Amino acid sequence: MKKQRYTMKNGIMIIAVMFLLCILIGVFSMYVGKMNLSPMEVFQTIVGNGTKKQNLIVFDFRLPRITLAILVGIGMGVSGIIMQSLLRNDMASPGTLGISSGSGLLVLVYVVMFSTSGASSKYLLPLLAFAGGITAAILIFILSYRRGRDISPTSLILTGVALGNGYSALSLMITLKLDKTQMEFAQRWSAGSLWGDHWDYLKILAPWTLLFVGYAFYKSRMINTLHLGNQTAIGLGLAVKKEFTGLLVAAIALSSGSVALGGNFFFVGMICPHMSRKLVGPNHKLLIPASGFCGAIVVLLADTITRTISFGADIPTGIIITVLSIPYFLYLLSKS
């Protein structure tokens, strides 16, 4: 008889391996960058014997950046898996639901209105990016809502794509008016530059991400049931509207948080759920941690690559991810 492809035991093993991999890349990532530190120097610095310069590099540059990469990856990975399973569509992701272009638009507005005037506080940009993502998502829901009907995944995605194009058009209009430095910031943001690598930001993003990932993990049984389809879920006694809304809010909150500080990493939200399904199967108790760690590994790895290899210019992390994952994506498409 054919052996079972996915078991709980294997799944936990795979997640443990992913966790270790994440730590390994994180440790490796500490050593590399524009200013090379030897492993010994990093170790000495961490235990408290570093010079002033080493302290600065490790604690103020590298560690927050690594932490941000991990948080953004987890946020995108978990957000993606929730959206794909709730909407039962492999193309669903924070990107297709218009969250990316929504927050992108507000980032541009910020660049135009505040960056030159100096009136900005350091929390304004992430707040605006966050608000843009949430607003876009809410708008999509309002527009695809039909009275007395279930929320249809197809209409959500179609509305998301349509609105996303609208946002992009508006963004383009604004972009045309930018000067060179403004333009550069906007472009780096939309390519995914992990710009918010400062402890002040991380103090907010870390509990935010943990809270919603914890919620989603706690609700993994509900996602399993919702994944069977709304009708079957109702038959099984799930309060579909309530759980669906709660989980979608969590997914939107996670991706908006990641977008606000990391920039555009939506490919992670689309690819990582796919990979995790292949690795651990359809049970969300395994899928949610797997997709989160997968996201963390991908973002962290890409960021380490950008910092290790010089491409001649300062390449944003997101570009590396997109370039690396397109072959995988094409492979997926050719197989299905």
Partner 1 sequence: MNSIMTDKLDIAYEEALIVKQLNMKVPHGKITSIIGANGCGKSTVLKAVGRVLKPKQGTVYLNGEDIKKLTTKEVAKKMAILPQTPTAPSGLTVGQLVAYGRFPHQKGFGKLTDEDKKIVEWAIHVTKLDEYKDREVDTLSGGQRQRVWIAMALAQKADQILLDEPTTYLDMSHQLEILELLYDLNRNQGCTIVMVLHDLNLAARFSDHMIAISKGNIIKAGNPMEVMTSHVLKEVFNIDAKIVEESETGRPICITYKLLRGVS
Part in contact with partner 1 (CB under 8 A); list of ranges 39-47, 54-62, 146-154, 325-333: 146-154
Binding status of residue 154 toward partner 1 by CB under 8 A: no
Part in contact with partner 1 (CB under 8 A); list of ranges 20-28, 144-152, 175-183, 312-320: 144-152
CB crowding 176-204: b at 16 or more within 10 Å, else e: eebeeebeebbebbbbbbbbbbeeebbeb
| Beta carbon of residue 330, minimum distance to partner 1 (angstroms, whole number) | 20
Evaluate whether 95 touches 269 at the Cβ level (below 8 Å).
yes
Q: Which of 269, 325, 327, 316 is nearest to 85 (CA)?
A: 269
| Beta carbon of residue 12, minimum distance to partner 1 (angstroms, whole number) | 14
Binding status of residue 162 toward partner 1 by CB under 8 A: no
Q: What does 80-139 look like in DSSP terms, one character per residue?
A: HHHHHHHHT-TT-STTTTTHHHHHHHHHHHHHHHTTTTT---TTHHHHHHHHHHHHHHHH
Judged by CB under 8 A, which of 13, 113, 239, 326 binds partner 1? 239
Judged by CB under 8 A, which of 181, 231, 308, 310 binds partner 1? 231
Judged by CB under 8 A, which of 136, 238, 251, 300 binds partner 1? 238
Q: Which of 98, 93, 68 is nearest to 80 (CA)?
A: 93
Q: Which of 75, 2, 269 is nearest to 160 (CA)?
A: 269
In angstroms, the Cα distances linking 32 to 26, 192, 193, 253 are 10, 20, 17, 32
CA atoms within 13 A on the CB side of 298: 33
Nearer to partner 1, 225 or 256 (CB): 225
| Beta carbon of residue 311, minimum distance to partner 1 (angstroms, whole number) | 38
Binding string, residues 250-289; x marks residues near partner 1 by CB under 8 A? ---------------------------x---xxx-x----
Binding status of residue 218 toward partner 1 by CB under 8 A: yes
Judged by CB under 8 A, which of 48, 118, 148, 327 binds partner 1? 148
Binding status of residue 228 toward partner 1 by CB under 8 A: yes
Nearer to partner 1, 24 or 228 (CB): 228
| Beta carbon of residue 136, minimum distance to partner 1 (angstroms, whole number) | 27
To the nearest 10 degrees (0 to 180), the angle between helices 8-31 and 284-308 is: 20
Evaluate whether 259 touches 133 at the Cβ level (below 8 Å).
yes
| Beta carbon of residue 327, minimum distance to partner 1 (angstroms, whole number) | 22
Binding status of residue 335 toward partner 1 by CB under 8 A: no
Binding status of residue 214 toward partner 1 by CB under 8 A: no
Evaluate whether 96 touches 161 at the Cβ level (below 8 Å).
yes
User: What's the distance, CA 303 to chain centroid?
Assistant: 14
| Beta carbon of residue 227, minimum distance to partner 1 (angstroms, whole number) | 5
Part in contact with partner 1 (CB under 8 A); list of ranges 111-119, 202-210, 220-228, 289-297: 220-228
Evaluate whether 59 touches 198 at the Cβ level (below 8 Å).
no
Instruction: List residues binding partner 1 (CB under 8 A).
Output: 1-6, 146-149, 218, 220-221, 224-225, 227-232, 234-239, 277, 281-283, 285
